[in-house]
Amino acid sequence: MPSIEQALKTAKQELINAGQTDSPQLDAELLLLEVIKKQRSFLFTWPEKLLSDSDLDCFRKLLEKRLQGLPIAHILGYREFWGLKLKVTEDTLIPRPDTETLVEAVVNLSISKQARILDLGTGTGAIALALKSELPQAEISAVDFSEQALKVAKENSKKLKLDINLKHSNWFSAVDQQKFDCIVSNPPYIEDNDPHLKCGDVKFEPLSALTSGSDGLKDIRMIIKQAWNFLQANGWLAIEHGYNQAEAIQQIFLHNNYKNIKLYSDYGENPRVTVAQKSTEEFNHG
Ligand SMILES: C[S@@+](CC[C@H](N)C(=O)[O-])C[C@H]1O[C@@H](n2cnc3c(N)ncnc32)[C@H](O)[C@@H]1O
């Protein structure tokens, strides 16, 4: 029977050899923790502790899936986001740490505690639920056009006891004619033919959650244009985008008469979130 330390070392080497992950040590730890049901600190406090045969067997089964490339979030069935444990399935995007930049940007806007907020393309509900956890009095609505994703978001909302209004909608198509103080979105923004779509975890995620036309901006263009009609005067629109799209997105915001455009960088210091405010000037969006 190997110790925790030995099991992790062997698993890490196998993961490196398989070449499916950039984080072999962390992956091995997360899989082992799932089996032994302990906090991460246990691994460093008790490295010499021996694994039972059944624990080792379970660990090997999970590891085998990772060696074949299956994302950790799909193997475990959940992903932590903004400190919330969110159910994830193959029908949802796996929430990314980078998206916490969007949540942080919105929390730091000067919006009222009772703000009305709309999350477009909510997936697991990650952004909407994170915002509800920070702004419990806010009235948060979230939409997605994937019925399966919405089902997962509903489960997450119920389990976390964070009450949000979830609705099936093609962007704004089923959103009531009401005005929001803030609209947020992490929409699809990858170019249709981007070769990265065939790599790593991404190849297990729904394409409809990832791609948006030949330049990746089809959905963002639509959201920026249509959001105008659903924002209060001076309301904010906050959008996550690719690291190389900031300039194009600023132009789209300017073209649509938004003001106070601000850019935020993710944990890797790449410009990944743009927020802008609806100006009070008259502007015809057709
Ligand atoms: C990049 S994922 C973001 C998911 C989640 N907000 C997050 O950050 O983890 C984009 C989401 O937009 C949804 N989506 C794509 N096209 C849509 C549309 N036309 N109307 C509504 N939602 C859409 C997808 O189903 C997916 O859940």
Model confidence over 53-73: pLDDT tens digits? 999 999 999 999 999 999 999
Span 226-237, pLDDT tens digits: 999 999 999 999
For the chain, list residues with pLDDT below 50. Answer: none
Q: What average pLDDT does the structure give for the chain?
A: 95
Q: How much is the pLDDT for 95?
A: 97
Beta strands in 94-230 (DSSP E): 116-120, 139-144, 165-168, 180-185
* Residues across the chain: 286
Q: How much is the pLDDT for 244?
A: 96
Strand, helix or coil for residue 245: coil
For ligand 1, atom 3: residue with the closest CA:
186
Judged on CB neighbours under 10 Å (0-12, 13-18, 19+), 251 is exposed
Q: Which element (helix H / strand E) includes 264?
A: strand 259-265
Q: How much is the pLDDT for 282?
A: 65
Q: Which atom of ligand 1 is nearest to the CA of 102?
A: 8
Ligand 1 centre distance from Cα of residue 22 (Å): 25
pTM: 0.94
Residue 93, ligand 1, Cβ within 6 A = yes
Domains of the chain: 4-70 (1.10.8.10), 91-277 (3.40.50.150)
Residues paired with 50 in a beta bridge: 3
Strands 180-185 and 78-81, how do they pair? Answer: unpaired
Q: How much is the pLDDT for 1?
A: 86
- Contacts of residue 158, Cβ cutoff 8 Å, sequence gap at least 6: none
